[in-house]
A and B are shown apart, each in its own frame.
Chain A
Amino acid sequence: MDENWMEQFQKQNLTTQLLLTNQYTEKYGLVLTQEDTELILEGRKNALQEQRRVEFGESILPRIIFEFCDSAYVRQDNYTQTLLRLQEIFFLYKNEMEDEITDDELLHFMKEQFETICYGDLEYLEGTCLTGFAEAIRAGYRGYKESEGYGEYAQFDAVPRWDYNLYLETLKELFWE
């Protein structure tokens, strides 16, 4: 028997799981091909190795897909690449948050920021939104347990999202000047 039969079995199992998500995601115009799944699983293997993590049973990938498939910023042309990056970011921040946060809490937080703060910018999600949140968690913040990861970012956001003076100035420029 092949020495890596477990790995082979898991890969086959995951491929099936990923292809099955198409049944749900096609209503959002998102479909994975066999080649896409192979690419994503290769990325998964690398991301896990790089972050020194192990998945024993169920993979996080189908849950990432279900969480992000209705995003305004995920389209068929960037679907595979987005999934590849999202799983990298997910494993990175499981470590950065020292496993204090559950999968669901982290996915909820990521999705919410991806939609409302980052406007689909994965670099901003990784380098800004998650960094501040991870710092707070490492410092002992546990408020996300109650909120399940929703509505958390405002208290850690260093950027003023609403500038009253700027708004007035723009309004004047547009309508009165």
Chain B
Amino acid sequence: MMAECGYTMEELVPLVGKLAGRYAGYESSSVSYEKAQQLMEAVIYCICEAQKASEANRTEVLHTGTGAKSAERDYQIGLDKVKEKVNRALQLFNRITDNFYFAGNQVLADTVLKGMPAFFKWYDIEYAPQDTILTLDYPVLRDLTGYCGVDAIYEYLRCIELEQYFLKHSDSKLTAQALARRGFGDSEQVGNLCEAVLEDMIYTSLQGRKMAEQERNRLGDQILEHLQKTFAQTELTEYLKTAINDILHRYACMTE
């Protein structure tokens, strides 16, 4: 993990020591291994945030020098970036929850409407920024396993915002039918709503009618086999993008 942020243990330990002092209110000369580990992770998380921001913006030159001073400067920049990200995530959350659509699905509602406020209440920017706190039970379509802390929450909310856009702009009748068929309406079923709706759109688009589950599975297998035979991997991606765009255009008021 030390190599992850480009600093050595000798450069990070003084920073962790300062953080431990602040954590204990300068009233305890020692901390437990677990707390020290948590604080070390906090320092590394912030330094990585600074480095990610630097790579993305190409504005701030980081880690030009070596030693504890350089690490401390990077840590401070990273800590500010974490604070900024929390604010951005909060703005995003407020935008999403304004007229939030969850089709009666309790998992989505609980994760976003109950979970997120708890995250913003308990998130510890200084001493545990790496802690995601939530288990994020509602599954989004993007793999977020590489993220943690506010990074994970921010990326998750971005996915939710896109899903909300998709669900709100889709044919409401078709959406309701699709969700009901998959058992998502008024239930605690875990699954992605957009995936269910999009899948329904695809099948309806292909056959021009509603299909029974068995028939859909059979057709799905046939399509997959056909696509794999016909297209190379790169062509297939492009073909699917065009096809989905076409379906979205037809069933949802979206162009992309």
- Whether A60 contacts B29 by the Cβ 8 Å rule is yes
Q: B residues 76-115 with Cβ under 8 Å of A?
A: none
Contacts of B28 in A (CB 8 A): 94, 99, 102-103
- Whether A56 contacts B32 by the Cβ 8 Å rule is no
**Distance between Cα atoms of A55 and B17 in the complex (Å):** 8
Tell yes or no: A91 within 8 A of B by CB: yes
> Known: A54-B33, A55-B29. Contact between A6 and B21, CB under 8 A?
no
Contacts of B27 in A (CB 8 A): 102-104
Tell yes or no: B24 within 8 A of A by CB: yes
> Known: A99-B24, A103-B27. Contact between A56 and B16, CB under 8 A?
yes
Contacts of A91 in B (CB 8 A): 30
Contacts of B29 in A (CB 8 A): 55, 57-60, 63, 103
- Whether A53 contacts B17 by the Cβ 8 Å rule is no
Tell yes or no: B143 within 8 A of A by CB: no
**Distance between Cα atoms of A59 and B17 in the complex (Å):** 12
Tell yes or no: B35 within 8 A of A by CB: yes
Q: A residues 13-59 with Cβ under 8 Å of B?
A: 48, 52-59
Closest beta carbon of chain B to A116's beta carbon, Å: 24
Tell yes or no: B20 within 8 A of A by CB: yes
- In the complex, which range does the number of interface residues on chain B fall in? 10 to 19
Closest beta carbon of chain A to B219's beta carbon, Å: 59
The A interface, classified by DSSP as helix, strand, loop or mixed, is mixed
Q: B residues 17-58 with Cβ under 8 Å of A?
A: 17, 20-21, 24-25, 27-36
- Whether A48 contacts B30 by the Cβ 8 Å rule is yes
Closest beta carbon of chain A to B44's beta carbon, Å: 16
Tell yes or no: A95 within 8 A of B by CB: yes
Closest beta carbon of chain B to A47's beta carbon, Å: 10
> Known: A99-B24, A99-B35. Contact between A53 and B10, CB under 8 A?
no
Contacts of B32 in A (CB 8 A): 52-54, 95, 99
> Known: A99-B28, A104-B27. Contact between A56 and B33, CB under 8 A?
no
Q: A residues 54-85 with Cβ under 8 Å of B?
A: 54-60, 63
- Whether A55 contacts B33 by the Cβ 8 Å rule is no
- Whether B17 contacts A99 by the Cβ 8 Å rule is no
Q: Which residue on chain A has the smallest CB distance to residue B35?
A: A99
For B16, B32, B34, the residue with the greatest tally of chain A CB atoms inside 10 Å of its CB is B32
- Whether A56 contacts B35 by the Cβ 8 Å rule is no
- Whether A53 contacts B13 by the Cβ 8 Å rule is no
Q: A residues 80-119 with Cβ under 8 Å of B?
A: 91, 94-95, 99, 102-104
- Whether B10 contacts A94 by the Cβ 8 Å rule is no
- Whether A54 contacts B36 by the Cβ 8 Å rule is yes
> Known: A99-B28, A102-B28. Contact between A52 and B33, CB under 8 A?
yes
- Whether B20 contacts A56 by the Cβ 8 Å rule is yes
Partner of B30, one of A5, A6, A60, A104: A60
Closest beta carbon of chain A to B32's beta carbon, Å: 6
Q: Which residue on chain B has the smallest CB distance to residue A60?
A: B29
**Distance between Cα atoms of A57 and B21 in the complex (Å):** 9
- Whether A54 contacts B10 by the Cβ 8 Å rule is no
**Distance between Cα atoms of A95 and B31 in the complex (Å):** 9
Contacts of A102 in B (CB 8 A): 24-25, 27-28
- Whether B21 contacts A56 by the Cβ 8 Å rule is yes
- Whether A6 contacts B10 by the Cβ 8 Å rule is yes
Interface residue ranges, B against A (CB under 8 Å):
10, 13, 16-17, 20-21, 24-25, 27-36
Known pairs A91-B30, A102-B28, A103-B28; list 14 more (Cβ under 8 Å). A5-B10, A52-B34, A53-B31, A53-B32, A53-B33, A54-B20, A54-B36, A56-B20, A56-B36, A59-B29, A60-B30, A95-B32, A99-B28, A102-B25
| 13 A/B residue pairs, CB under 8 Å, sorted by A | A5-B10, A6-B13, A52-B32, A53-B33, A54-B31, A54-B32, A55-B29, A56-B13, A56-B31, A57-B17, A99-B35, A102-B27, A102-B28
